[in-house]
């Protein structure tokens, strides 16, 4: 499925949309990490929690759960969520 990559992570993918697969959000991120080594740890910490200033939307709805089930036609948007100077 298509995954949107925010600008802070483009140094890994070099493009805004990439293809990745997985039956869950966690599996999808693991697949992404296989293609772009290191990218998962920047988004998910060592306790398997999505980092505080990363937001993931599946078909437009926010998800905070790596066990969230995915269908091949789903759209996943990873976005940055931080303000300040």
Query: Under the rule (CB under 8 A), what is the footprint of other proteins?
Result: 6, 8-9, 37-38, 41-49, 51, 53-54, 80-82, 84
Specify the residue, 17 or 41, whose C-beta has the smaller distance to other proteins: 41
Query: Quick one: 34 or 51, whose CB is closer to other proteins?
Result: 51
CB of 52 to other proteins, least distance (A): 9
CA distance 53 to 15: 21
For residue 71, the minimal CB distance to other proteins (Å) is 27
Token pair for 64: 């905070």
Question: Least Å distance between CB 16 and other proteins?
Answer: 16
């Amino acid at each position: 499925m298509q995954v949107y990559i925010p600008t802070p992570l483009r140094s890994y993918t070099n493009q805004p949309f990439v293809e990745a697969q997985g039956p869950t959000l966690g599996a999808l991120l693991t697949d992404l990490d296989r293609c772009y080594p290191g990218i998962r740890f920047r988004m998910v910490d060592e306790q398997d929690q999505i980092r505080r200033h990363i937001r993931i939307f599946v078909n437009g709805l926010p998800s905070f759960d790596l066990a969230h089930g995915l269908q091949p036609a789903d759209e996943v948007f990873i976005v940055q969520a931080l303000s300040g100077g």
